[in-house]
């Protein structure tokens, strides 16, 4: 039933996009994102009027899985993804180019467990909820490796992000691999952190991935999207209280909780983002190859990938600081 409901929702979203395409001037840049706090500056930019709705449409989706399906179907032109998710999309035949690094997770991705589970080894025989995504599988692999367990030692329950809190609340799982805003909600319910992305540095990086075939067609809109993103980041730095107030409702958190959640993230400045894409190989390319090797080790990718078109710094270089 859940699968049928999700199919209907995705079909409705696709229909909405088709309708927008016929009624509004082209091109319209369609960007998918979930509730992850690192993506919220784009919603802040929209709230502040930096995006013309006839040029840019931000589609807020229940999970990254939904964004990936729509991206692969051509219903989205771009999506906010983790870098490992972007590599998997490329592996499945959809060429993507990364034009911006939103953040790197430094403790924001976590394993939340019930209070009676005191250490990772106690996960043996327990039900672990996790999203069926690259980042979810990467976290699960790292957790089991540290606990000296294998997948046969635990019961894996695949959940989309919007199911994490309810599954824990209803007793369907004993632990959940999750991230904000679910992390805050689960901690309020008495869960505690057993593992965080701080233990696997530089492996969870959030990026803006654009379908490579849209780079030229949507050049002006992509530039507007990134310009607006950095204007919103400036607002976050100079008018923090107002920015948090505007963003908090979309993630179901208080402004104070939202501000605290950013402490688990490294949000690169414009200069830092440019530096990530500079050099041969660039720091970004080095991270991509490390993540690709991890995906190959876990069996999620079993062939070499051509990463020559993976990054494009044109848009970052055009942003006025």
**CA of residue 151 relative to chain centroid, distance:** 24
Equal fold, 2-104+204-318 vs 110-199: yes
Measure Cα distances from 258 to 79, 151, 197 in Å.
22, 33, 18
Of 202, 201, 174, 198, nearest to 110 by C-alpha is 198
Q: What is the DSSP string of 32-73?
A: EE-S-GGGHHHHHHHHTT-S-TTTEEEEE-S-HHHHHHHHHT
Residue 93 burial (C-beta neighbours within 10 Å; 0-12, 13-18, 19+): exposed
Q: Domain spans of the chain? A: 2-104+204-318, 110-199
Lookup: tokens for 120? 């990772």
Query: What's the rounded Cα separation, in Å, for the pair 202 and 296?
Result: 17
Reported CATH class of domain 110-199: alpha beta
Of 128, 124, 74, 122, nearest to 96 by C-alpha is 74
Walk along the chain (321 residues) and give the pLDDT tens digit of each residue: 444 445 545 555 555 555 454 454 568 999 999 989 999 999 999 999 999 999 999 999 988 889 999 999 999 999 999 999 999 999 999 999 999 999 998 888 999 999 999 999 999 999 999 988 778 888 998 999 999 999 999 999 999 888 999 999 999 999 999 988 899 999 999 999 999 999 988 789 999 999 999 999 999 999 999 999 999 999 999 999 999 999 999 988 999 999 999 988 999 999 999 999 999 999 999 999 989 988 888 888 988 898 888 999 999 999 987
Residue 219 burial (C-beta neighbours within 10 Å; 0-12, 13-18, 19+): middle
Query: What's the rounded Cα separation, in Å, for the pair 133 and 158?
Result: 9
Given 3.40.190.10, 3.40.50.2000, 3.40.50.170, 3.30.750.80, which CATH number is that of 2-104+204-318? 3.40.190.10
| % of the chain surpassing 70 pLDDT | 92
Question: For 266-321, how does the pLDDT look when each residue is reduced to its tens digit (9 = 90+)?
Answer: 999 999 999 999 999 999 999 999 899 888 888 889 888 988 889 999 999 999 87
- Sign of the CA dihedral with 126 first, then 129, 133, and 136 last: negative
- Sign of the CA dihedral with 212 first, then 213, 216, and 221 last: negative
pTM (predicted TM-score): 0.80
Q: What is the DSSP string of 241-305?
A: HHHHHHHHHHHT--HHHHHHHGGGEE---HHHHHHHT-SSS-HHHHHHHHHHHHHHHTTS--S--
Q: Where are the beta strands (DSSP E) in 95-204?
A: 96-105, 110-113, 127-130, 155-158, 175-178, 192-196
Of 168, 169, 79, nearest to 130 by C-alpha is 168
C-beta separation of 244 from 258 below 8 A: yes
Q: List own/partner pairs for 44-49 with CB under 8 A and 24 or more apart.
A: 44/232, 44/235, 44/236, 44/243, 44/246, 44/247, 45/228, 45/229, 45/231, 45/232, 46/228, 47/246, 47/247, 48/231, 48/232, 48/235, 48/246
Q: Is 124 helix (H, G, I), strand (E, B) or coil?
A: coil
Task: Mark residue 148 as left, alpha or beta (left: phi above 0; alpha: psi -120 to 50; beta: remaining).
Answer: left
């Amino acid at each position: 039933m859940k699968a049928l409901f999700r199919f209907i929702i995705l079909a409705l979203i696709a229909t909405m996009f088709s309708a927008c395409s016929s009624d509004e001037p082209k091109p319209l840049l369609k960007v998918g994102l979930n509730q992850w706090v690192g993506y919220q500056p784009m919603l802040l930019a929209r709230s502040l009027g930096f995006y013309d709705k006839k040029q840019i449409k931000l589609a807020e989706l229940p999970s990254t899985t939904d964004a990936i399906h729509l991206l692969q179907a051509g219903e989205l032109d771009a999506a906010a993804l983790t870098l490992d998710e972007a590599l998997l999309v490329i592996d499945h035949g959809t060429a993507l180019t990364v034009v911006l690094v939103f953040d790197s997770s430094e403790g924001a991705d976590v394993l939340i467990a019930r209070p009676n589970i005191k250490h990772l080894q106690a996960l043996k025989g327990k039900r672990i909820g996790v999203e069926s995504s690259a980042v979810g599988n990467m976290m699960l692999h790292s957790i089991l490796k540290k606990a000296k367990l294998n997948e046969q030692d635990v019961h894996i329950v695949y959940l989309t992000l919007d199911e994490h809190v309810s599954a824990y609340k209803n007793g369907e799982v004993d632990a959940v691999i999750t991230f904000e805003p679910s992390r805050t909600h689960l901690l309020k319910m008495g869960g505690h952190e057993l593992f965080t992305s701080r233990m696997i540095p530089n492996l969870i990086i959030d990026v803006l991935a654009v379908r490579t075939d849209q780079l030229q067609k949507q050049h002006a809109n992509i530039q507007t999207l990134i310009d607006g993103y950095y204007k919103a980041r400036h607002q976050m730095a100079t008018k923090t209280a107002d920015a948090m107030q505007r963003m908090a409702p979309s993630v179901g958190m208080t402004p104070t909780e939202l501000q605290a959640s950013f402490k688990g993230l490294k949000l690169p400045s414009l200069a830092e983002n440019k530096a990530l894409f500079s050099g041969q190989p660039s720091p970004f390319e080095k991270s991509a190859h490390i993540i690709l090797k991890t995906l190959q080790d876990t069996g999620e990718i079993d062939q070499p990938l051509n990463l020559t078109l993976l990054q494009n710094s044109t848009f970052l270089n055009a942003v006025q600081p």
